[in-house]
Amino acid sequence: MCIVALAWNTHPRWRLIVAGNRDEAHARPAAALAAWPGRPIRAGRDLQAGGTWLGLGPDGRMAVVTNVRLGLPRPFAGPSRGDLPVAFLAGDLSAADHAAQVATQAARYAPFNLVLADAQDCLYVGNHPAPAWRHLAPGVHALSNGPLDADWPKIRRLRAALQAWVDAGDDDLQPLWQALADDTPAADAELPDTGVGLALERQLSPCFIRGPRYGTRASTVLRVDAAGRGRISERRFGPDGVFLGETTLAY
């Protein structure tokens, strides 16, 4: 998942709202959002490494992970970052206890951002430039492939869209889907420098990325109410942004 915005304890109905896009090579095999056999997880699945990017667990548990972009990807022999959401969603530790545990092992993984939420807490865990974790205050937050709430154009746009949705107190998801489908590129002067070169920074600058080999594979909206009842919806896309299907599950 390469961009995600979340609203924690700030909407009149929903304790947590998450809206995000997973960007990945189209050739990498993945399974659609589903209930995982033998595990209390509602999520899509990376069929290459076996993990997930964003999922819903019992009692409104949520986990989402993004990579941190530090130049072009390099071979990495450690554990998959997709294991991080799975461990929380399938476990029984509180979000705070799990975040503290992950921080002690964070150096084993390639650079990542991880957000965990349960009934009591919403927390950020990362390992770049050093392992750290912290509680998130009530409000709207967003991240992509850099620091939490970084001043990137697509982060600003998605965070603003979610904030407007929260302020309206609405349940109509269409404004969130529209924000996730925004393929407006950023101006060169606003692009971050993540070490991949100007041409690729331009390609990666929209919220929704269209491309024949790499792009947005899934858009997801997740909601959890005050009682811990959750709903997760996923829209899937193929090369050049071709729509492939939609799934909604409750927990």
Model confidence at 99: pLDDT above 80: yes
Q: Alpha helix (H) ranges present in the chain? A: 83-89, 95-105, 153-168, 174-180, 198-204
pLDDT of residue 76: 82
Domain tally for the chain?
A: 1
Q: Name the residue type at position 134.
A: R
pLDDT of 169-194, one tens digit each?
979 999 999 999 999 999 999 999 99
CA distance 232 to 124: 21
**Domain extent at residue 20:** 3-7+14-250
pLDDT the model gives residue 1: 63
CATH number where 128 lies:
3.60.60.10
Q: b vs e for 204-231, b when ≥16 Cβ sit within 10 Å of the residue's Cβ?
A: bbbbbbeeeebbbbbbbbbbbeeeeebb
Supply the pTM of this predicted model.
Answer: 0.96
CB distance 47 to 174 below 8 Å: no
Confidence of residue 74 (pLDDT cuts 50, 70, 90): confident
Mind listing the pLDDT tens digit for each residue in 121-166? 999 999 999 999 999 999 999 999 999 999 999 999 999 999 999 9
What pLDDT is attached to residue 219? 98
